A and B are shown apart, each in its own frame.
Chain A
Amino acid sequence: DAKTTQPTSMDCAEGRAANLPCNHSTISGNEYVYWYRQIHSQGPQYIIHGLKNNETNEMASLIITEDRKSSTLILPHATLRDTAVYYCIVRVAIAGGTSYGKLTFGQGTILTVHP
């Protein structure tokens, strides 16, 4: 699985967009980019995933560069409840072989949203 690199921490003002970067320069053609977050003392929460096109859902937008070596998760109007650790993961989407659905989180980015 491709390795990902994220900043250790970021701050954002409430109501502003939070842009969280992730580098995955060794990503291969069949690997997707997934984003999760974990609010303190809660279970992780799936946010979004994508292959090469930009994706948007009710929680966030995912922008993947054309060469797929990096991506940005965008929370368009951050709230205090978005304060969490955000994890970027690269995995082949479909289970098979040795890929049996195991999620492995790196250090992630601690996003703090300020009033």
Chain B
Amino acid sequence: DVKVTQSSRYLVKRTGEKVFLECVQDMDHENMFWYRQDPGLGLRLIYFSYDVKMKEKGDIPEGYSVSREKKERFSLILESASTNQTSMYLCASSSDRVAIFEQFFGPGTRLTVL
């Protein structure tokens, strides 16, 4: 089975802190994604990556950056956390361009910014 793991299930940070969310997949997938999920707003794509060191902005990249130095790891960075970044963060991966919508999700990180 595809396994996507995220570094924390719950995280509490203070406004202005730099926050790192880590995601690791173990199936040699090319594509990796970061979403956030909020009640009433559904799933929104922050960034995605289709190869090592490659990244593309999604719909809401402001206030975030990403890093993909190795194929299995995709990190989301909140440069200076703000209260409106309190959310559920979901990492996903898919094998290649043909199967890009067969995405496997991690358990999510519920981030609270105080």
B108 proximity list for chain A (CB < 8 A):
41-43
Q: In the complex, what residue of chain A is closest to B31 when comparing beta carbons? A: A101
A-side interface size class: 20 to 34
A32 proximity list for chain B (CB < 8 A):
101
**Known pairs A94-B97, A95-B97, A100-B56; A46 contacts B42 (CB<8 A):** no
CA distance A95 to B96 in the complex (A): 9
B-side interface size class: 20 to 34
Give A39-81 as 1s and 0s: 1 = Cβ < 8 Å from B's Cβ atoms: 0011111100100000000000000000000000000000000
CA distance A34 to B99 in the complex (A): 11
Residues 91-109 of A at the B interface (beta carbon under 8 Å): 91, 93-96, 100-106
Are B33 and A104 interface neighbours, CB within 8 A?
no
CA distance A3 to B97 in the complex (A): 23
Are B43 and A100 interface neighbours, CB within 8 A?
no
Name the 3 nearest CB pairs between A and B, nearest first.
A43-B105, A101-B100, A95-B100
A43-B92, A46-B104 known, 18 other contacts, Cβ within 8 Å: A32-B101, A34-B102, A41-B108, A42-B107, A43-B106, A44-B103, A45-B105, A49-B101, A89-B101, A94-B100, A95-B31, A95-B50, A95-B100, A96-B97, A103-B35, A103-B43, A103-B103, A105-B43
Residues of B in contact with A (beta carbons under 8 Å apart): 4, 31, 33, 35, 42-43, 45, 48, 50, 56, 58-59, 90, 92, 94, 97-108
